[in-house]
Amino acid sequence: MTHVAVIGAGVFGVWTAHFLHEAGCQVTLVDAYGPGNSRSSSGDESRILRCGYGPDQIYSRFARRSLDLWRDLERRLDVRAPIWHPCGVLWLAAGDDEYTLATRETLAGEGYPIETFDRDGLRDRFPQFDADGISTTLFEPQSGVLSARRAVQHLATDLVARGVRFVHGRGHVESHNEPLTSICVETPASAGHRARELTEVAADRFVFACGPWLPKAFPQLLERRIRPTRQGVVYFGTPGGATFTASSTPAWVDFPAGVYGVPDIEGRGLKVGIDAHGPPFDPDRDDRTIDDATIAKARAWLQRRFPAMADAPVVESRVCQYENTSTGDFLIDRHPDHDNVWIVGGGSGHGFKHGPAVGEYVTRLVTTGASTMVRFALAYKGVEAQRAVY
């Protein structure tokens, strides 16, 4: 039986572990802080699942496949609190925005359900939105929101119950031999001991899916090719009632403004996220206190588009990170010096939704030896930011 070690228990890692286990592999899952931890890119409360990606059919197809797999997971685990919230996703654009128009053309051509509204139609369907300046809207009625942290933790728990070994610690590559035969895992100090313990994890193949920690795992290879950035999210308290819950308000993407958001789910508040890339960020050491400028930008958007929320209090805020490639395309490829090592990451702020499809794709590469597609290849990754995928 082939033994595969997966380093990183975020969304890419747990779904890769799932499909490897389904394929008959022995799987060890390694994570420094635990599945869905607050430092991880998978650790926030919610993530949008949309199928719209401008002209990029590959991501639309990944999202659609992932939606089916997320729903299957929820049914299979029979969780008490849902991980899927089918509230729909609304695109807002000013003028004839090319990306939104390309999204509509791609989704329509692939047979995805979509609805379009003019300004009056938007006011009729979602009166809580102020449509001033909005001339193009696109609604994906079958898309919605995932409970991110909960989903990752449920799947990780299920994996352990099915026989996947979980090791709590940070994996290091210390050997330069080809092929790699083991990694050294630094585990947290046990009770009564200050020193951390070292454990060797031997395997036949290795998948490094450790998100913003990838440049630390492979500094010479991935420096500037994976760039973690600080990203702010603000939750605003709603006035109560159903107006801003997932039963009445969709998730949204205000593409020209660089703002996205999620309705009030389970009383957490209305989430407003800033999509513009923030400054460089260290996922281990940097502070995660939100800054005043981010709150001000989120509130300014809220005051313009949700007038009833203009004076809403901030009830929660978070700093997470994107792990950006030069274009926003994923990085899914073999390590150039280790034929039995795969690197999986570069979620670039839009990766969470695709976790199931990525795990399925990576498992196919690992178990068959196939080559990755060009857009995911390491050779395709530059060091200068030229973001093209959103």
Question: What distance in Å separates the CA atoms of residue 31 and residue 26, rounded to the nearest whole number?
Answer: 17
Q: How many domains does the chain have?
A: 1
Q: Is residue 141 part of a domain?
A: no
Q: Is residue 179 part of a domain?
A: yes
* Integer angstrom CA distances of residue 317 from 11, 236, 272, 309, 387: 22, 9, 10, 16, 26
Q: Is residue 297 part of a domain?
A: no
Question: What distance in Å separates the CA atoms of residue 224 and residue 383, rounded to the nearest whole number?
Answer: 5
Question: What distance in Å separates the CA atoms of residue 340 and residue 170, rounded to the nearest whole number?
Answer: 19
How does pLDDT run along the chain (390 residues), one tens digit per residue? 999 999 999 999 999 999 999 999 999 999 999 999 999 999 999 999 999 999 999 999 999 999 999 999 999 998 888 999 999 999 998 777 888 889 999 999 999 999 999 888 999 999 999 988 888 899 999 999 999 999 999 999 999 999 999 999 998 887 666 789 999 998 876 655 555 778 899 999 999 999 999 999 999 999 999 999 999 999 999 998 999 999 999 999 998 899 999 999 999 999 999 999 999 999 999 999 999 999 999 999 999 999 999 999 999 999 999 999 999 999 999 999 999 999 999 999 999 999 999 999 999 999 999 999 999 999 999 999 999 998
Question: What distance in Å separates the CA atoms of residue 98 and residue 197, rounded to the nearest whole number?
Answer: 54
Whether the CB-CB separation of 145 and 46 falls below 8 Å is answered with: yes
Q: Is residue 303 part of a domain?
A: no
Question: What distance in Å separates the CA atoms of residue 207 and residue 10, rounded to the nearest whole number?
Answer: 12
Question: Which residue range is the domain that position 216 belongs to?
Answer: 1-50+148-225+326-383+386-390
Question: What distance in Å separates the CA atoms of residue 29 and residue 16, rounded to the nearest whole number?
Answer: 10
Strand-pairing partners, residue 51, are none
Q: Which two tokens stand for residue 301?
A: 């958007």
- Omega before 179 cis (within 30°)? yes
Quote the pTM value.
Answer: 0.96
> In terms of C-beta distances under 8 Å and separation of at least 24 residues, what long-range contacts does 258-265 make, across chains too?
259/297, 259/298, 259/301, 260/48, 262/46, 262/48, 262/145, 263/87, 263/145, 264/238, 265/45, 265/46, 265/85, 265/145, 265/147
Four-residue CA torsion sign, 288, 44, 296, 258: positive
Strand-pairing partners, residue 34, are none
Question: What distance in Å separates the CA atoms of residue 275 and residue 383, rounded to the nearest whole number?
Answer: 20
Q: Comparing C-alpha atoms, which of 325, 281, 274 is closest to residue 296?
A: 274
Q: Give helix 355-368 / helix 57-77 axis angle, nearest 10°.
A: 100
Q: Is residue 312 part of a domain?
A: no
How high is the pLDDT of residue 187?
81
Instruction: Determine how β-strand 144-147 pairs with β-strand 136-140.
Output: unpaired
Q: Comparing C-alpha atoms, which of 6, 242, 354 is closest to residue 376?
A: 354
Q: Which two tokens stand for residue 89?
A: 């996703």
Residue 74 CB contacts under 8 Å (≥ 6 apart), including other chains: 82, 83, 84
Q: Is residue 369 part of a domain?
A: yes
Q: Is residue 116 part of a domain?
A: no
Q: Give helix 355-368 / helix 11-22 axis angle, nearest 10°.
A: 50
The CATH code of the domain that includes 161 is: 3.50.50.60
Q: Is residue 266 part of a domain?
A: no
Q: Give helix 57-77 / helix 148-161 axis angle, nearest 10°.
A: 60
Residue in this structure with the two tokens 């990944």, named with its chain if needed: 62
Question: What distance in Å separates the CA atoms of residue 142 and residue 7, rounded to the nearest whole number?
Answer: 33
